[in-house]
Amino acid sequence: MAAESKTDFRLLADTLAELLRDKIQAGPDVIEYIDSTYGNPDAEEIKALIDEHGSSERETLVELLFFPDESIQVQLEAVLQEHACAAEDVAAIADELANRNITAAVSLGDSGRTLAIRVDRTVIDPFLTRLNIAYAPDTGLSRTIAEVLPSNQRIAVGVRFRNAGTRPDGQVRDLLDRYIRAMHADGFFFEDLDFLLEFVQEIDGDTDIYEAMMKKKRRSWRQLNKVEGVEKRLRKSNVETLLLQGERVPYIDRHRTLKTIAAIDRICLAVFGRTDSIEALDRSDAGWDICGAQDAAAMIRRMSS
């Protein structure tokens, strides 16, 4: 470990130790999983499962209970943006935390159940992996973020980039830079940034980004039309009849799909100054006329408001 990183290493270890010692709140999904899987166990029963080192139950429970939520990530990001963590420091930080014999208090919501769990390497290693503390943000994007975003937004954006693990270059870096500059004051900034960070993982570095977005928009629109068509036929026949006729009954998250289309439009208008209208999309799919372009545009406007 380089001598100049010693202070940062100690500071990060101290911050992580404090976060682990503070009461960790299990999320509602985690509590629901534990109660449904183990029959509403009390704290002692859960603790007994966690104390069975080497068991699959312990591994699953530890991963769920110590999955870092946004509040933990935000607190840590504020430190990481001032004191970067080198990749070679991660193992040393893990050793340091293990040597401190930390006991974490984990609260299971309003049920009153609280667990005292010793924080050993089986807890620390996956915890640090998920936090991705050695992630090195792009220097150019960091300058843009510092230049155009207020401090509270800088932290939230940093958490999102760290979670995505995005190390953009070329046109992807340019896309993200232009998006941040154009959309930072927009009410959909964070929602659309979440979509964009996921989207850029799907494309190659030399892909025409605008065309890739239009392709995704077109595919999403076709999925909506297909579902509309099936639902129209279901009003005349039941599922069994359609299946016997060889009809596939697709399922899509309509709400999410409409939000995807709306996000693409906002991003493309902000970054490229244009977006293909619904009317310009490929109408070759069977079922296009089931839900007209005017109706779809109205739906998207409602989802975007």
Same domain, residue pair 42 and 18: yes
pLDDT for 204: 83
204, part of any domain:
no
For residue 37, give the amino acid letter: T
Please give the pLDDT value at position 6: 46
232 part of a folded domain: yes
- Residue 119 and residue 175 in one domain: no
Domain assignment of residue 150, given as a range: 139-199
Mapped onto helix, strand or coil, the DSSP state of residue 277 is: coil
Q: Are residues 35 and 77 in the same domain?
A: yes
- Tell whether the torsion through CA atoms of 132, 137, 143 and 148 is positive or negative: negative
Asked whether residue 116 is assigned to any structural domain, the reply reads yes
Q: Which of 170, 133, 182, 149 is nearest to 15 (CA)?
A: 133
Report d(CA 299, CA 225) in Å as an integer. Answer: 13
176 shares its domain with 259: no
Statement to judge: residues 255 and 214 lie in one domain? yes
What's the CA gap between 20 and 124, in Å, rounded?
10
In a domain, 124, yes or no: yes
- Determine which of 30-34, 218-222, 290-294 has the lowest per-residue pLDDT on average: 290-294
Determine the pLDDT at residue 82: 87
Beta strand pairing call for 103-107 and 114-118? antiparallel
User: Which one of 101, 131, 161 terminates a domain?
Assistant: 131
Domain endpoint, select from 199, 217, 244? 199
**Would you place residue 288 in the very low, low, confident or very high pLDDT band (cuts 50, 70, 90)?**
very low
Helix segments in 83-137, DSSP class H: 89-99, 121-131
- Judgement on whether residues 172 and 227 belong to the same structural domain of the protein: no
Task: Quote the CA–CA distance of 142 and 224 in Å, as a whole number.
Answer: 38
User: Residue 34 above 60 pLDDT?
Assistant: yes
Q: How many CA atoms lie within 13 A of 15 on its CB side?
A: 21
Quote the percentage of the chain above a pLDDT of 70: 81
Q: DSSP label at 26?
A: P
The answer to the question of residue 231 being in a domain is yes
Q: Predicted confidence band at 183 (pLDDT cuts at 50, 70, 90)?
A: very high
Give me the phi and psi of 107, to 5 degrees please: -100, 135
The Cα–Cα gap between 90 and 288 comes to: 54
Distance of CA 251 to the CA centre of its chain: 22
The total domain count for the chain is 3
pLDDT at 4 over 60: no
Within-domain flag for 20: yes
121 & 7 share domain: yes
What pLDDT shows up at residue 251?
Answer: 66
Q: Is residue 57 part of a domain?
A: yes
| Assigned domain for 30 exists | yes
Considering 131, 163, 184, which residue would you say is the last residue of a domain? 131
According to the model, what pLDDT value does residue 3 have? 41
Same domain flag for 122 and 8: yes
| Whether 120 and 19 share a structural domain | yes
Q: Are residues 119 and 13 in the same domain?
A: yes
The reply to whether 115 and 45 lie within a common domain is: yes
- On the question of pLDDT at 176 being above 60, the answer is yes
In the structure, what pLDDT confidence band is assigned to residue 283 with cuts at 50, 70 and 90?
low
Residue range 45-87, pLDDT digits in tens: 999 999 988 888 899 999 999 998 888 999 999 999 888 888 8
Cross-strand partners of 91: none
- Give yes or no: residues 108 and 143 share one domain: no
Alpha-carbon torsion, ordered 296, 298, 302, 303, to 10 deg: 20
Q: pLDDT at position 119, please?
A: 93
CA 260 – CA 204 distance, rounded (Å): 20
Task: Determine which of 145-154, 187-196, 227-236 has the lowest per-residue pLDDT on average.
Answer: 227-236
pLDDT in tens, 127-136: 999 999 999 9
Q: Where are the beta strands (DSSP E) in 21-148?
A: 24-25, 103-107, 114-118
pLDDT at 17: 94
Q: Each residue of 222-265: pLDDT tens digit?
A: 888 777 665 665 565 665 665 565 666 566 778 888 999 999 99
Contact between 242 and 233 under an 8 Å Cβ cutoff? The reply is yes
Q: Residue 135, SS3?
A: coil
CB atoms within 10 A of CB 123: 21
Q: What is the mean pLDDT of the chain?
A: 84
Separation CA 221–CA 228 (nearest Å) = 11
